Amino acid sequence: MAKNNNRPVIHARHLTRIYRLGDSEVIGINDIGLDIAPGELVVLKGNSGSGKSTLLSLIAGLDRPTHGFLNVADHNLTQATSPDLTYFRRKVVGMVFQSFNLMPTLNVLENACLPGLLAGKSADQVTSKAMGLLDWLGLSTRWNHLPAQLSGGEMQRTAIARALINDPDIILADEPTGNLDSRNGQIVVELFAELNRNWNRTVIIATHSDIADSVASMTICLKDGAITDQTCDI
């Protein structure tokens, strides 16, 4: 895929998401302007409730902004239809979650294959790709284990395999180390750094810890739903 290093892969203007709860309104994010170039490793920081997850969910195409404009990898997400969004989620982004969110009834390999199969790729092709990823992640001997039989670190690595199976340009991780001990957290952060460095993926890690600070090429601080210029004191 040809990359245009000058055009930002993520481009947001006045991006706002307001949640309506009955009569009251809660601000998720408010009037955010943002440009992220391809190949960055962004650490998104901020206190709990500052809007990190809200921003990620918009970038991931899981939610729509209340106002503003958002373009991700040449997809205008403010105007995308539902099939556009599906295509976008399948091809453009891969997601990693705090609590892994693996399918409990599927084994490691099947979990890793899932997005590929959902995207309609052939099972053989997806399986060999997944085996390669699991090998790289050190899970090749565990491919037929169920999530319940894995440690937290192993589960998160399975989730990373799943996020990579469709070769997305952008990896979005929401608090990926939140449920891991520091050693496993470190391993996961290393993996993201490697993805960014060697595979040239754009990675956004939302976290309120400083575990990923050392690998960040860019840090964005959120406070009360807006980007602040102050240093991120959490």
Partner 1 sequence: MKKHLGRALTVLLGIALGAAVFTSVRLSIHAALDSFTRSMDVIAGSADRVMVQPGGRVPEEWVAKLMQFSVVRDVSPVLTAYVRLADKKSEPFLLIGLDPIMDRSFRKWQFSERTEEDVESWIELLKRPYTLIIGKSLAEKYAVYRGDHLFIEHTRQTAFFSIAGILSPGGLAMAEGGMIALTDIATFQELTKLYGLVDRIDIKLDPNTTSEDLDHIRKNLPDNFQLGAPSAAKESGQGLIRAYQLNLSILSFASLFVGMFLVYSLVALNAASRRHELAVLRATGASPHFLFLVFLAEGALFGVMGWLTALPISTILVKYLLKGVSQTISILFAKVQVETLSLSPWEILLSFAITVFTSSVSAVQPAWEAMQVSPNEALEISRHGMTRKTSPRKLVIGGIGCLFLVVPLSLLPGILNMTLPGYFAILFLFVGFSLFAPWSLIQMGHALSPILHRFVGIPAYLAGRYVRDSGTRTAVSVGALITAVALFASLVIMIHSFRSTVELWAHQTVSGDLFVTTKMGEINRFRYPLPRTVVDGLEEFSNQVDIVPSRRYSLTYNNFPYEFQLLDIHVFLRHGDFVWLKGDPDRVRTLLKHGKGVVISEVFSNRTGVAMGDRFRARIESSLVELPVLGIIRDYRTRGGVVFYSLPQFNIRYHDVPWGGCRIFLKDRTKNPEMAVASLKNEFIRRWGDTLEIISGQALRNTILRVFDETFAITIVLLLIALAIAALGIATTLTVLVLERSKQLNTLYAVGADFGQIRSMILWEAAFMVVAGELAGIVCGFVLSYILVYVINRQSFGWTFLYEVDWGALAMSLPLIILTALAAAYPAIKMVFRESPATLLREN
Ligand X SMILES: Nc1ncnc2c1ncn2[C@@H]1O[C@H](COP(=O)(O)OP(=O)(O)OP(=O)(O)O)[C@@H](O)[C@H]1O
Applying CB under 5 A, which residues contact Mg ion? 53
Three-state SS letters, 176-187: CCCCCCHHHHHH
Question: Which H/E stretch holds residue 31?
Answer: strand 24-36
Which segments of 60-203 does DSSP mark as H helices, in order? 82-91, 108-118, 123-136, 152-164, 182-199
Q: Is 187 in the site for partner 1 (CB under 8 A)?
A: no
Angstrom distances, CA of residue 39 to CA of 7, 29, 58, 136, 203 = 11, 24, 19, 21, 7
By CB under 8 A, residue 34 contacts partner 1:
no
Name the minimum Å distance from CB 178 to Mg ion.
9
Q: Which is nearer to partner 1, 16 or 37 (CB)?
A: 16
Sheet containing 75-76: order of strands: 24-36, 10-21, 67-72, 75-76
Inter-residue contact 66 to 18 (CB < 8 Å) = yes
Q: Tokens 């979990």 sit at which residue? A: 111
Query: Contact 157/80 with Cβ under 8 angstroms?
Result: no
Does position 115 bind partner 1 by CB under 8 A?
Answer: yes
39 vs 178, which CB is nearer to ligand X? Answer: 178
Six-digit token string for 71: 């373009």
Shortest distance, position 46 Cβ to Mg ion, whole Å: 9
Q: Which stretch binds partner 1 (CB under 8 A): 39-47, 81-89, 182-190, 212-220?
A: 81-89
**Which entry of ligand X, Mg ion, partner 1, none binds 101, CB below 5 to 8 A by partner kind?**
partner 1
Among 47, 66, 78, 86, binds partner 1 (CB under 8 A): 86
H or E element: which one contains 122?
none
99 touches which of Mg ion, partner 1, ligand X, none (CB within 5 to 8 A by kind)?
partner 1
CB of 59 to Mg ion, least distance (A): 13
Report, in Å, the least distance between residue 147 CB and partner 1: 7
User: Stretches 34-42, 145-153, 185-193, 196-204: which one binds partner 1 (CB under 8 A)?
Assistant: 145-153
Which residues make up the interface to ligand X (CB under 6 A)? 19, 21, 26, 28, 46, 48-54, 208
